[in-house]
Structure 1
Amino acid sequence: MSNSSKQGAEVLQALHKMLLSRRQGTFPHPEDLASALGLIGAHRAAILQDVVARDVRHRQSSGLDQIFKIQHIHGYKSIILTDYGRTAGPDGLRFAYSVEDLAVLTTPVAESGRKAVAKAAKTDKTQSILSIRQKLSAMDPYKFEMLVERVLRAMGVKNLNTTPQSRDSGIDVRGTLILEDVIHIKIAVQVKRYQNPVGSSEIQKLRGSLSNGEVGWFVTLSHFTQAAINEAEATLRQPISLIDGDMLIRLIEKYKVAII
């Protein structure tokens, strides 16, 4: 087996294990799946799909049961498990194909280079945060809203509904945060790619748009004034949770949501 084929088999083994660990076996976007697998390189999501497609064709031509299939999920071409893939044990999986450009997916770190990697980790982290903030700042407001929706989905918010693109006031996203399949919290989210601080008037406007039983979330790329924080924490009023730019970036990194 060639080195690229061996790497491909390892990637597919990891892919199978990861999809099995998720209840629905899907990711909101192919780039999220590539990030979760730790794959790097240009066009990594497309190459991952190509690897799966090659394995699908091989198994079809060999008369073997399919482990993966590719179909549209959330409007994106996504990789999911078949019924056989959900029941097949790791010992019964055999992958065989050849893809020469698989090398861009993984870059092994030599043992001698691990200290250098660890030493540079803190600098890389800072640069990564700055890079993410720059990308978010340059993002179209509607695409920024769609990114926040994907972060919400990764956090476990279900039944997400967005307002039309032409609307730029009031609630942007509504959904239900489900905890342990028992607690259902209705949330209404205001998304603003502001550069200037968010004041108390914006928090009041969000609270005035809430329906009975809803919890408000305000997401911004900037930060909140002390007056806005005080307004959000006011007692005897519908609660408002504040997510500033720093927290949003932490959530993007935590849930490995790709910025596209």
Structure 2
Amino acid sequence: MTDLHYDIHGSGPVLLVLPGGAGHPMGLGPLTDALADRFTVVVLDPLGLAHGRLGSPVDDQRVEDWSDRARRVLDSVLADGDTAYVLGTSAGAVVALDLLARHPERLRHVVAHEPPCVGVLPDGDRQRAMFRDVVDIYRTAGLRAAAARMTAGLTEQPASTPFAGQPLTREEELSNPMALSLAHVLLPFTAYDPDLTALSSGPLTLATGTDSRGQLLYRTAEFVAERTGAAFTEFPGGHLGAVQRPEAFAEHLTTALGVSARLGERDHDRSPTASA
């Protein structure tokens, strides 16, 4: 059984999409549809949660493992010597940064939308501690309490206490992608230190949502862009702009990647058509 799970939609130059959270592509269908007339959209599902593995045991995850899977997917869908565009959102944006730092030869341009690699910030230790607090609250008081704590942390507002609730059972956790993200993805991904030197020579755009101004992940993306010399842009919506405003997000992404409809048409005949 392969550990590569992905779907392919549309035609045109390859655009690899790396979802956030636990990598489940839920909610990204409208964005994929909006992009499929100009790109061959390859959506990675790193844990196979949308491919029959939701409910199976999950271990703590590593950014590098997801990045290696992304590279192997590109190797499977690209012809020799071809390159792909990449969009990573949230946790997927951290994967996109690692992919660019370690495998730039396969990439044409990367857009990293609000990567939570907060350790790069001057107050990075405090922000990493905030995410540890989120996970501790999840384990003692459940999803809703953890979400409230994380919202307070991301908006950099004082957290209200106490956080009341009940922890999930193991079975409930394994069937819930958000719970899996809190249990096995959030801490290793927010603790990831991007290679800013390697990223300084790569084709990279850091992106945030217009609704995220003044928030933690806005200044994280802005800081990475400043330190690497990468482009910086705002997308419609907030941290979940790809889900909240898919059509506007798709238009802004196309512009950020420097792709036109004519390019999509020109590359049509070279596009892969298989699914895995």
Larger radius of gyration: 1
- Normalising by structure 1, report the TM-score: 0.27
- Normalising by structure 2, report the TM-score: 0.26
